[in-house]
Amino acid sequence: QMVYRCKTIKMFLYILGLVAVWFVYRWYRETKRVSNKEDKYVYITGCDSGFGNLLARHLDKLGFRVIAGCYTGKGEDELKKVSSDKLTTIHLDVADSESVSKVAAFIKTLVGQKGLWAVVNNAGISVPSGPNDWLTVEDFKPMIAVNLLGVIDVTLSVLPLIKKAKGRVINIASVCGRISPFGGPYCVSKYGVESFNDSLRIDMTPFGVKVLCIEPGFFKTNVTDTAMLKNNFIKLWERLPQEVKDDYGHGFLDTNKISYGDLMKVVGCMEHAISALYPRTRYSPGWDAKFLWLPMSYMPSWLSDTYLIKSKPRPKISAL
């Protein structure tokens, strides 16, 4: 019995050693970066604020030629003030195919025969969000137009340029593309991004194009601004029929506080996806993503449902 235990311990240590060696090898491999960054063009959507704005500034400092799509003129002006002359800003509305086509034509002229090294589909919105029976189908359409159809439209508009450079498509999804902690179109749109990302990755592999997905946890950006989400909730509540209000009760408006992390954790993953010689297929920045949401997405539905139901405010006439 003692010999058996010793063999078991040796086997365990052997496996542990192999895992440690693999992690060291992966770390070393992922430190390698692409060359000639000054010749590589990167197209980023949603650069007015948040992840997109920080990424544009970060890549500009690293020497990449950034094409920053901004929704507002103010966003363009403020980004120009803190960037070098190599960074180009341009007006972009990802929900407007004409705007997307105009930007794609501009990029084609700008990059020439070099092609486009990367497109980062970062633009997104998060409201209206709430219980599904508070919403109408018209509430779903604008967010899906931006978060999903915008991603598809922008990607397809520059895909020939990406293929020419054997470059990368980076899609900003969310942990909400793996599990749905709340109702409304946000999770629906992010599930769609995940599906588009996976199918495009398979399609583009023969052409040497890498398609990569970022799945952040909850970080403090304009998309997750607590005051904005609270106001959205109140607006939805005020238009509800009295019967639905009676079902939920006014106490349901008490929203849960969300833990936020350092935005540069996400930007670091985005930069690695763009500049690493051997990028990961998926990135999950944020401790909540790694240790709560993603593990929960693999759990049996009854278990994840139990957690999600208990973590939310309960309707007044709840049967639970």
**Active centre residues (catalytic):** 186
Place of tokens 């407007």: 96
Among 197, 158, 156, smallest CA distance to 283 is for: 197
Question: Helices 185-204 and 150-165 sit at what angle, rounded to 10 degrees?
Answer: 20
From the number of C-beta atoms within 10 Å of its C-beta (0-12, 13-18, 19+), residue 224 rates as middle
Cα–Cα dist 90/290, whole Å? 35
236 within 8 A of 183, measured Cβ to Cβ = no
Place of tokens 């209206």: 128
Per-residue tokens: 256 = 């849960």
In three-state secondary structure terms, 31 is coil
**Angle at alpha carbon of residue 170, lines to 165 and 175, rounded to 5°:** 165
Name the region of 191 (left: φ>0; alpha: ψ -120 to 50; beta: rest).
Answer: alpha
Per-residue tokens: 272 = 């690695």
Among 141, 111, 137, 112, smallest CA distance to 125 is for: 141
A 10 A CB-CB count for 246 gives 13
Please give the C-alpha separations between residue 100 and each of 96, 143, 157, 179, in angstroms, as whole numbers: 6, 17, 7, 30
